[in-house]
């Protein structure tokens, strides 16, 4: 539908001001380049979980940015990676690539400090995408010398004809206003899809599970977090209180012992930190109860993954 048809629709139906734009913008990139941090800072609120470990994000998450004349529907995606060792890796890659369809623009986030084979692989994947691709050169605050930035911008512009290249520091919120300025004109003229005060289309149950998993990712060693997922068994809302029972699933008995910790100390720490973040997000007191259970092979079983909310489906 072209802009003239949309304008006429607005005039005939009085559905929205003529200057309101709305559209989907997907955020892609290899693991650990700062996609979720970028989304959180664009929204001005924590939505996607983050940690220093790659592949923290496992699901597509919609973040809604709204102003009076604009609604950008940002789609945060799992990090795209070449190695697909297990079913969960294949599902994450499919989820990220599916997000490239039917969007107004693509934000491709790369780490300004280094170009990798995985970046090259992603560029090949997205080179035929019809939508405008904006290269987000992230983590520029980590460059050893600031004079490195201009040559870097020139190098990236030689790799592909990008709609724009925007250097940013998502962690520090640097140059995000410029990124919004570049994205906004690419969206179609149409009324908002969601209410102005809505942050995401994900349920509170889903967000609660993600916050527990974030604490596991942050507090445990290198290997265990990748074989851990979280399932919400019950989520009961009262006027001023939410009661949550969550199950942390691991693949082996040894991992269960690690998650629980000495006399339950690790599990208690995970629960305390997750509860604090839930209370901030839900703006209510939270009673959180955690258990750990062994579910062997869950991360390499597509049927089990679908039942746990992985893939294109969403947890309710």
Cα–Cα distance for residue pair 229/212, rounded to 1 Å: 9
Cα–Cα distance for residue pair 20/156, rounded to 1 Å: 32
* Token pair 């048809």 in the structure block, residue: 5
SS3 58: coil
- 26-34 mean pLDDT: 91
Q: Could you tell me which residue, 315 or 126, shows the higher pLDDT? A: 126
Q: Please list, in sequence order, all residues whose beta carbon lies within 8 angstroms of the beta carbon of residue 301, skipping any fewer than 6 positions away.
A: 87
Q: Is the pLDDT of residue 111 over 50?
A: yes
Per the CB < 8 A criterion, the answer to whether 72 and 187 are in contact is yes
SS3 50: coil
What domains sit in the chain, N to C, each tagged with a CATH number? 3-186 (3.40.50.300), 204-307 (3.30.300.20)
pLDDT tens string 205-247: 999 999 999 999 898 877 676 788 999 999 999 989 999 999 9
∠ at Cα 24 (206, 43), nearest 5°? 60
């Amino acid at each position: 539908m072209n802009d003239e048809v949309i304008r006429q629709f607005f005039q005939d139906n009085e559905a929205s001001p003529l200057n309101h734009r709305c559209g989907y913008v997907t955020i892609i990139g290899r693991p650990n380049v700062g996609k979720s941090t970028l989304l959180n800072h664009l929204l001005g609120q924590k939505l996607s979980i983050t940690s220093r470990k790659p592949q923290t994000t496992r699901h597509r998450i919609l973040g809604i940015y709204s102003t009076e004349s604009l609604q950008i529907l940002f789609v945060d995606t799992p990090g795209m990676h070449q190695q697909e060792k297990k079913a969960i890796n294949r599902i994450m890659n499919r989820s990220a690539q599916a997000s490239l369809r039917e969007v107004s623009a693509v934000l491709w986030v790369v780490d300004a400090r280094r170009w990798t084979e995985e970046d090259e692989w992603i560029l090949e994947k997205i080179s035929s995408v019809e939508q405008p691709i904006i290269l987000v050169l992230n983590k520029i605050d980590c460059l050893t010398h600031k004079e490195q930035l201009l040559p870097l911008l020139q190098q990236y512009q030689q790799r592909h004809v990008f709609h724009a290249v925007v250097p940013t520091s998502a962690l520090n919120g640097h140059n995000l206003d410029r990124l919004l300025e570049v994205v906004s004109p690419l969206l179609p003229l149409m009324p908002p899809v969601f209410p102005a005060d809505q942050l995401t289309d994900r349920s509170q149950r889903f967000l609660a599970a993600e916050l527990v998993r974030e604490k596991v990712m942050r507090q445990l060693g290198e290997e265990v977090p990748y074989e851990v997922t979280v399932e919400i068994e019950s989520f009961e809302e009262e006027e001023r209180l939410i009661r949550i029972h969550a199950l942390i699933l691991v693949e082996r008995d040894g991992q269960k012992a690690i998650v629980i910790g000495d006399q339950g100390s690790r599990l208690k720490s995970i629960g305390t930190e997750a509860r604090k973040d839930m209370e901030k997000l839900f703006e209510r007191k939270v009673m959180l109860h955690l258990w750990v259970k062994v579910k062997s092979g869950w991360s390499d079983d597509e049927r089990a993954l679908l039942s746990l909310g992985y893939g294109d489906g969403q947890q309710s």
